[in-house]
Amino acid sequence: MSADDQTLRLGYVGLGNIGRPMATRFVDAPGGLTVFDVDHLAVAELVDAGASAADSLSSLGKACDLVSICVRDDAQVRDVVDGLLPTLSEGSMVVVHSTISPETAADLASVCSASGVTLLDAPISGGAVGAKEGRLAIMVGGDRAAYDRAKPALALAGDMIVHAGDHAGDGTRMKLARNLLHFVSFTATTEAARLAEAAGIDIGKLGRVVRHTDAITGGAGAIMLRDTTAPIAPDDFWFGVFTHVRDLGEKDLGLALALADDLGVDLPLGRLALRDLAAGLGVPTNDSSDQGES
């Protein structure tokens, strides 16, 4: 183990669509970078950028204090950890960027701990573009002290490094919640496109409007302002804010659904949103709530 955490010898396994640009950012680490992948062309590209190449997982383990893993699935992550663990020094760290099951992360953390190695799960958000620009969000689950040691290295590839929780798997739990929003939003986007198309609206122009205004307002993340999902008390500062959001949302959703009915377009997510928006915001529309304001 390198004596100075600022000169951790970094390793990277999995030089794919995101792993390759992310690893390229790690080339600048003070302790250097060693990479391994079955794709020899990807390895050669990293070597040209200044990295060293390992000819096996075991040799990579010998050369590194912190090894990042970005492979396809749980089974591949397990295989990589199995290959690294026999040669990793006590006190080394394994950082898993792949999105895997939280249970897999916890299991592998236990296996690593028995050998004196700390495993952090650290899934990423931002895609290949974020990786290339060093603007990834990296959500880390596991021991806080290990997180603090790994953070300067991870900051080479991400401009938002978050300690998601003290247990391996917490990073993945945060990533899954984030991606639930992501892909439900994508599905809602398809509903909006169907409505616009049926109404004779140019979908491309609609897309430009959405991207423009989301860049200003923050999109769905703009309402993630509280540290709880509990109902909001009428005397809470956020009650007025979220009541306003609820009223606007219910009005516009109602108008959109009326248009959809006129055009014969099915919007199941839109109907769920109208049904659940108020309760989800913590300011349900009911008699007791209305009376509480009067």
Query: How do 136-141 and 124-125 pair as beta strands?
Result: antiparallel
What one-letter code names the amino acid at 97?
H
Cα–Cα–Cα angle for 64, 58, 162, rounded to 5 degrees? 45
What one-character DSSP code corresponds to residue 217? H
Q: Clarify whether 62 is annotated catalytic.
A: no
Residues forming beta bridges with residue 158, ordered by sequence position: 136
Q: For residue 140, what are the contacts with CB-CB under 8 A and spacing of at least 6?
A: 95, 120, 121, 122, 147, 150, 151, 154, 161, 162, 163, 164, 171
Alpha-carbon span 21 to 136, nearest angstrom: 11
Cα–Cα–Cα angle for 175, 7, 22, rounded to 5 degrees? 35
| Residue listed under structure tokens 């108008």 | 255
Nearest to 290 by CA among 228, 239, 237, 225: 239
Alpha-carbon span 191 to 207, nearest angstrom: 13
What φ, ψ does residue 158 adopt, rounded to 5°?
A: -135, 140
| CB contact at 8 A, 59 and 11 | no
| For the chain, the helix, strand and coil percentages under 3-state DSSP, each to the nearest 5 | 55, 15, 30
| CB contact at 8 A, 121 and 100 | yes
What φ, ψ does residue 199 adopt, rounded to 5°?
A: -85, 0
Of 62, 151, 175, 205, catalytic: 175
Q: Give the residue numbers annotated as catalytic, written as ranges.
A: 175
